Structure 1
């Protein structure tokens, strides 16, 4: 384990991801229980606040219990590397899936702290901002986020409803009548296509179509940003498309250079490289 390895290398950075964390960083009775993304989302509060108000708790589509935990773990490793660069000291990095979901739902934590009321499902609506929602069109759905006073006036102008802008000029005014105003906006969007709504609001109001994956594949923005990458697929006669890297660096360009390795695919290569490094080190020490 970590302690044994650290005896041989005090600068070692040792990382783990578990459902409920490691006893070294806080021992609880949950540790040792099995966990998956679904379990983490359920325990961490994600499912309780996801879905329609009259529907059941709902899992978020992507495996955020896995993915977000891994991202936080990577950040922790970078922090440990920075600490080692300054002190020479390694350390153990522990990230728990349950902890990560609590962190992701941070807004519900402080809301409950203030009100003693547990936040629950609101569909696509926002608890404190309006309009901030998805709306049905004649051929799909769009999202509109016009909660600021300026965006609200622009939305009302696009809808040809200056009366709404005048009657509900502030955010608190709009929140108080959110159901009435939501229906006014929905009445406007449902008689228009997605393209017509987005074009009417383009540049003036934050709005977008609700896309599926085929739409993403056809979006030139995604292609230009290199967010789709083709890689070889072992055992198949054709390549597969995977998501590219969203991290863009000016001096050290990122991207998908190759597919993920198979289990033990590079084992011999890595062991040979390690052996050569050790041999070179011993030779240099002997020359000294």
Structure 2
């Protein structure tokens, strides 16, 4: 049976978990809701099952509980993949190691190193929290004196843009995409960006699928920036993505993927 851990940030107006549950019901597929907070990691409530974690709280407790469940179950997405996507450092390292396109990046405790990076990239760079989400805490800076956060520092080259793209990838295949636009540095919907569905051209598909493969994740949202000379670079990979503004039937596709994985687990 498929066991579902609901996304803790779901609301009545934005219920990712509920959308997929609805599709499973339409398909006549049985499932059960699993309360992650109630799991005893030393006496697991289920074994040999497929567990879909639509989302978890960014705290050590829920991550450890999910890791424990993975000892005897197939967890989607895996705790390792979720943890990778939560860390911009680990995500970028995996992207670069796999040869996937990514902006030039610096990670350090030393502001003098940041100053050198800034000078090498035309005097403009982007500061990002290592464990940020929804576009919070990201800003453009032209002097290290503008950085008031405590170390470590994760900074990237500034890639000039007026839009970005979120591509939804399931099982290694890009299945839907939106263009996001705003007057700000970040185009995230939660930061006031406007999204509309778009087709997925071959170079966008290749970049998104390469990023998902590099991270090693079942499904994800890959954020891409277009480059002036063509192609795309990967901003981040979201391990618990929403699918705002997408016209692709993401809930149905996710439900079908869960059923497929559950069947594979029973072979």
State whether TM-score is above 0.5.
no
With normalisation by structure 1, the TM-score equals: 0.21
- Structure whose residues are more often helix by fraction: 1
With normalisation by structure 2, the TM-score equals: 0.22
- Structure whose residues are more often strand by fraction: 2
Structure with larger Rg: 1
